[in-house]
Amino acid sequence: MGRQRTPKNVPVEPEAGVLGPVAGTFATDTGTAELIPDGDNPNGWLLMLNGVQSSHVDLADPLRLDFEYMRWIMALVQDRWAAGEKLKTLNLGGAACSMPRFLVAAYPQSRNVVVEIDGKLANYVRDWFELPRAPLLKIRVGEAREVTETLAEASRDLIIRDVFSGAKTPHALTTAEFTATARKVLIPGGVYVVNCGDSPALVTARREAATIAAAFTYTAIIADPPMLKGRRSGNIIIAGSDAPLGDGAGLARVLLGGAMPAQLWDDAKVRQFGRSAVVLTDE
């Protein structure tokens, strides 16, 4: 007898002992997770969290990233570090762990910690996507700021913040105080990179740019031109470091050659962008 059908979009528990992705909507600690097969790729799966597109995974190719903003972040990483370097990374926000899977494949000697607030979701994605195990990829269940504050100084090469509650990053992860904590956890010359979601007014992006620029010597922004011109809502990648970011022509060329061409703004342009914005603080 085949599996009993469940009404569409009614959250269920995955069947015990079933490994690998199965289309459906599943209850998590913080809401629902929906797995949708990629109609264009037999190995692809889209993960929706609480009705919002969150991640895409290609089971056959961890180096394939369907979300453009993830490709931009990984282009920045690969511009800074050569393939095979021994990186220690902290990924705030796990979802399907698309970027940590990429980092394991591109940097086989890397050690990647993912912080995910939803413990049930973390268990699901391990079963669904056969994620690499610790020490290559460790999922730590907890709140991103609380976990970051427990880490040793100068213990990470790279911190990626990709945390959302709905369409927004929780305020506590955007402030000068948290940014200072992230900088402490980075090694000298390490990179802090955030995925900032914003509307055409770009108020949030300007404030995040000002906040990161106040903490780091060098900054950079990556986004597509319509987003930077305030013509649509979407993602802006903002990075900070105490070493230059994308100062050669290579990164800009890679970004322009993508499926959605993106611009790279240098430190001077980022500071000009955030010049009139107020730095975000805990208060």
Task: Convert the pLDDT of each residue in 254-283 to its tens digit.
Answer: 999 989 999 999 999 999 999 999 999 998
Mean pLDDT for the stretch of residues 82-92: 96
Q: Are strands 88-92 and 156-161 parallel, antiparallel or unpaired?
A: parallel
Q: Which CATH superfamily is domain 68-273 in?
A: Vaccinia Virus protein VP39 (3.40.50.150)
* pLDDT averaged over every residue in the chain: 93
Written as six digits, the tokens of 112 are 């990647």
Task: Convert the pLDDT of each residue in 151-204 to its tens digit.
Answer: 999 999 999 999 998 889 999 999 999 999 999 999 999 999 999 999 999 999
Helix axes 203-215, 176-185, angle to 10 degrees: 50
The pLDDT assigned to 252 comes to 96
Other CB atoms within 10 Å distance of the CB of residue 41 = 16
The pLDDT assigned to 6 comes to 39
d(CA 221, CA 245): 10
Please tell me the pTM assigned to this model: 0.93
